[in-house]
Structures are given as structure tokens and as C-alpha cells.
Amino acid sequence: MEQVRNSKEKIIAVKDLSVTLGEVEVLKDISFEISKGSFTGIIGPNGAGKSTLIKAILGFIDYEGMVVLDGTVGYVPQLSSFNREFPMNVYDFVRLPIRREKNWKEKVDSILNEVGLEGFGIRLVGKLSGGEFQRAALARALISKPDILILDEPEAGVDQMGKARFYDLLNSLKQEENITILMVSHDIGLIFEKCDNVMCLNKTLHCHGPTESMSIEDIKKTFGEFDIWIRSDDHYEVEHEHHEHQKNQTHSEARSDRKQRDNNGHNK
Amino acid sequence: MGIINDLANFEFLRYSLIATLLVSLSTGIVSPIIVYRGMEFIGDGLSHAIFAGVAVAVVANFNVFLGAILATVVFAYLIYRLNKSDALRESTAIGILLPVFMSIGVIIFSKSPRYTTDVTSYLFGNILMVVKEDLYFLVAVTILTGIAVFANLYKISYWISDEAMAQFYGIRTNTIKLSILFLTSFVVVSALKIAGVIVMGAFLVLPGVFAKMSANSLKQAIFKAINFNLISSLLGFLVSYYFDLPPGPTIVLFGFLLLVISISWNKWKD
């Protein structure tokens, strides 16, 4: 495991990264580079290793290969990472990266205004909605002015309105602060709408390139059957129902074929 | 006022009252941490570890307190090791080690001629046998626990609520985990004579559960837990004095009653 910081146009570089958890090889030979100021979305099926890749980049888990981060990092984890039963207010939640600074309260107030949570300082984190929680987590990640922002499924548990606001906020950050964003998401629709680059991951890196050079259809072709891993919340139910319907149809056709074969056999 | 006169006249009664109040403080400090962190069985686990340590000390004829401390420190460290690599959750590690330590204690005690007396004393506590040295130890543990917890309240809060993020932003969560386990060990050992093995679990869980219902911060939860302990301990102490009941279990029953009343009150309010 080697983690190096250097200065180049590329702000993140990953080379030959492999992760084995227990006896399972979760990621194999992942290599990519990410340019400064870009917005990259990582998509892939459940169990593809998306969150594992993020954890390896952040140094949470052991890996083979090399990760180069040319800047400071802010991280927005999944909603489930926080114990929502614990009574912590938003001030304490957000000030974690700058907890030793004397003027932390002013800085927290300022960043809360920026993410649209003005006046939320004394509210309990456990009582926030999914969207509010993610904005608070974003405020925590941004308060130390990082060069790189890494997000792990920030839209999980957030309603459509909250999701749209959250992505707009990320885009304005990217434009105003030139921050580099790397984000894991299940929402392929939004990834294609908001990101500059897309990475398709399923144990190995299947594709990586500018969003405009790829289409959702191309990705479907690459990965085969359209399934729950590649969804937009708008499309998921319809697609899933369609998929189930097709599956049922295939089953009933198979049953009908079998019945016919049985009948033929019996007739013989 | 019989109890006032008796408190003035009998040293052992004064000691037992002071000990009860000190145990209320020390267990009140660690209880919310234990409950929020989901380590409710730590009290039972450490108490059973004490059982093994006490058994070894009694049979080998050396200081019982030393045996208890050593056993709980070993127990706490084993939980830390088993949990460190995320191989086992803390509660699972406690569940594994608890019967092991208890079995060691029972096997060793079975070879002791003082088996029945020793077991009863360490299972239920004997508040009336508190001596001055016990009080010194209790005061030291209470002060140490209070300083360690209040000086690191923010770090402990983040360790409980989001360990991964706490670690990401430079909080040494393993040090906090080990420190909390060791502090809890000392609290359990110091409260042994008052609470006993069986009652200890309740002393460490009930106040935390009570505080969790309405606290807005860990600090507030600790003060609520201390208040809860003080009220139930004083009531339990008075009732056990007037009705000649065993103090430890009586205190626990009052704690349970207080908790039930609080839960009912909260439900009625909602």
C-alpha cells in the first residue's frame, strides 16, 4: 500500500489497485487518473466494489497498488455511517475537521449558510431529513476547504427535491471553488446529467471517459441486462416491473413449452 | 429520625451511604457512553471477569482487588483486540468472553472451601462491609473517570456516533475505545462491594437508557444518568434500611421503577 502526494495537472491517480477482503477479491487492477476541477461519477452494480474503491482511496482499508492524492480531501460518507440515535447537534457534527480552531463557530455558521442550512446549528443531527443530513455532511467535508471532495452515494435516502438541490450545490461548488469531485452513485440518470466523467466499475474498471463520449445505452450494452444496479429513481420501478414482467413471461413460456413436451412424450 | 442517628453513630452505615453515592456518580458517567455505543453487556462481562479474578485471588491467597483489576483489564483488552480489526462487534466479543471468564471463576471457586460465602458476596455485593480503603479507591476512580471523560467529551461523542469519520479526521478512536474499556473496568471493580456481579449490569445500563430518552448531548446524558442514579440509590438505600432488605438489589429495583415511570410518562406526553 503506497499513498503519495505530488503536484501535477492530475489531482488523483490510482495505479494497479487491488483489494482483497478475506478471501474475496473485491477490486482488481484498477488504474485511472482524475483531472483537477473535474466531476467524476462512479457507477456499478451492488457489490461491484464502488464503496471499497472509495475506502481504499481514503486509506480506510488495506490495498495493493498505488494511490496518489495531490491535495487535501473532504469526504461525505453514506447516510448510514452516522448513529442517528446519538444526540449531537449540527455545530458539533460539522466542526470535526476544524475542532481545534478557536473561531470554529463562525466558520460553521458560514458553511451552513453556503449549503442552505442557516440556523440549523443547534438542531440535532438525528432529527434531520435525509437531504438535510447530506448537506450537513457536505458542510463538514467542505469546512476545511479541501481540494478534493469524495462522496459515497450521497443521494441514498434523499427525496427527489433534496437530491436535485444537492447536485446543484455540488455543481456550483465545482464552478466557484474549482474543487475536484469524485462521487459514487446508483443514479445513472443524474450521473450523466451532472458529471463530466463516468467510471463503470464491476470488480475491474470497465469504462472511464467523458460523459459526452458515452451514453446510458452504451453502458447497458457493456454490462448486459439492465438491472437494479443501473437506475434512476424515476426509471427504476418501471424498469424493474418491466424486467419482472419479462421474467414471468419467460417462465410461463418455459412452463408452456415443458407442458407441451410432457404431453408429446406422454402421447408417444 | 432513626437513620440520621444511626448515620451519626455507625461508621459502617456512613461509609455505605457515601459509597452508594460515589458509585452513582462513577456509573452515571460511563453508563450513557456504554448505552449509546451499544455495549450494554459490558457491565455483565466485566463483572463476570471480576468473578474469575476474585476466584484466582481467593484461592491463591493474594489481594482480591488486585485480582479483580487484573481480570477486568485482561477482559477489556481482549474485547478491544477482538473488535479492533472489525472481526467481531464489541457485544459479540463480550458475549464470547463472558461465559469463559465466569466458567474459570466457578471452576476455581469450586476448589475453595469459602465457595458459598464468597460467591454470594460477589454476586450480590455487600454494601455494609465497605471500609475506608474502598472509599478512597471509589473517590480516585470517580475523579479519574470524570476528568478523562469530560476532557475528551467531543472525541468520545464522535467515536460513539461515527467512528470512521472520527478516525478520518484524526481522532485516535482505538485509544478512546481502550481507555473507555479500562475506565469501565475500574468503575466496575470499585463498585463491586456495593453492587456485586449480578447488580452491576443494571447500574451500568438503567441510567444510560433513562438519559437516552431525552438528552440533547452526551454531557446532558451524563448529568441525567447521574441524577437518575442518585435518586434511585438514595431511595433504595432508605427502603433497604427501613425494611431490612439487601441494598444493591433494592437500588436496582428502584432504578427499574424509575425507568418504567419515565417511559410511561414520555409515552403519555406523546
| Residue A165 Cα, gap to closest chain B Cα (Å) | 24
A77 touches chain B (CB under 8 A): yes
pLDDT value, residue B1: 61
Q: Mean of the pLDDT values across residues A233-237?
A: 40
| Beta bridge partner(s), residue A33 | A13
- Amino acid occupying residue B261: I
pLDDT for res B3? 83
CB pairs A-B closer than 8 Å: 52
Between A15 and A191, the higher pLDDT residue:
A15
More confident residue, B56 or A156: B56
Mean of per-residue pLDDT scores for chain B? 87
Shortest distance, CA A192 to any CA of chain B (angstroms): 29
pTM: 0.81
Residue A195: pLDDT band with limits 50, 70, 90 = confident
Q: What is the mean pLDDT of residues A133-153?
A: 91
pLDDT value at residue B123: 65
Average pLDDT over residues A66-84: 88
Q: Is A101 on the interface with B (CB under 8 A)?
A: no
Helix (H, G, I), strand (E, B) or coil at A17: strand
B269 pLDDT above the threshold of 50: yes
What is the amino acid identity at position A138? L
pLDDT tens digits, residue range A9-23? 789 999 999 999 888
Provide the residue type at A257 as one letter. D
A80 vs B185, higher pLDDT = B185
Of the given ranges (A171-180, A225-234, B222-231), which has the lowest mean pLDDT?
A225-234
pLDDT at residue B121 in the model = 65
| Secondary element (H or E) of residue B86 | none
Which residues in chain B are closer than 8 Å to A97, comparing Cβ atoms? 169
pLDDT digits (tens, 9 = 90+) for A79-134: 778 999 999 999 999 999 999 999 999 999 999 998 889 999 999 999 998 888 98
| pLDDT value of position B228 | 96
Q: Residue A167's pLDDT is what?
A: 80
Closest Cβ opposite residue B160 in set A83, A89, A96: A83
Give me the mean pLDDT over the A208-233 stretch.
65
Residue B47 has pLDDT above 50, yes or no: yes
**pLDDT of res. B33:** 96
Say yes or no to pLDDT of B246 above 60: yes
**How does B207-225 read in b/e, with b if 16+ C-beta sit within 10 Å?**
bbbbbbeebebbbebbebb
- Reply yes or no on whether the pLDDT at B144 is more than 90: yes
Rounded CA separation B198/B126 (Å):
12
Mean pLDDT is highest, among A105-119, A171-185, B146-160, B232-246, for: B146-160
pLDDT, residue A114, reads 86
pLDDT of residue A17: 94
Q: Classify B98 as helix, strand or coil.
A: helix
Q: Does A46 touch chain B (CB under 8 A)?
A: no
Torsion sign, CA atoms A135, A136, A138, A139: positive
Q: Which of B154, B161, B216 sits opposite A83 (nearest CB)?
A: B161
A258 — pLDDT class (breaks 50, 70, 90): very low
Q: What pLDDT, on a 0 to 100 scale, did the predictor assign at position A232?
A: 43
pLDDT band at residue B86 using 50, 70 and 90 as cut-offs: low
Residue type at position B244: D
How far is it, in rounded angstroms, from Cα A137 to Cα A87? 16
Residue count (chain A): 268
pLDDT band at A6 (very low <50, low <70, confident <90, very high): very low
- Contact between residue B98 and residue B41 where contact means Cβ atoms under 8 Å apart: yes
Yes or no, beta carbons of A96 and B166 under 8 Å apart? yes
Find chain B residues with C-beta within 8 A of A89's C-beta. 216-217
Amino acid A255: pLDDT: 42
Interchain proximity A86–B161, CB inside 8 Å: yes
pLDDT at position A28: 92
Q: Given pLDDT bands bounded at 50, 70 and 90, which one contains residue A164?
A: confident
Using H for helix, E for strand and C for coil, what is the string for B129-187? HCCHHHHHHHHHHHHHHHHHHHHCHHHHHHHHHCHHHHHHCCCCHHHHHHHHHHHHHHH
Å between A188 CA and nearest CA of chain B: 27
Reported confidence tier of residue A2, pLDDT bands at 50, 70, 90: very low
Q: How many helices (H) and strands (E) does chain A have?
A: 8, 10
Give me the sign of the Cα torsion angle B146, B149, B150, B152: positive
Radius of gyration, alpha carbons of chain B: 18
Q: Does B232 or A262 have the greater pLDDT score?
A: B232
Chain segment B100-137, per-residue pLDDT in tens: 888 888 788 777 766 555 566 666 677 777 888 889 99
* A141 min Cα distance to partner chain B (Å): 10
Average pLDDT on A148-159 reads 82
Q: Could B162 and A87 be called an inter-chain contact, meaning their C-beta atoms sit closer than 8 Å?
A: no
**What's the rounded mean pLDDT across residues B53-69?**
82
> Which ipTM value was assigned to this complex?
0.83
Where is average pLDDT lowest: A136-145, A204-213, B146-155? A204-213
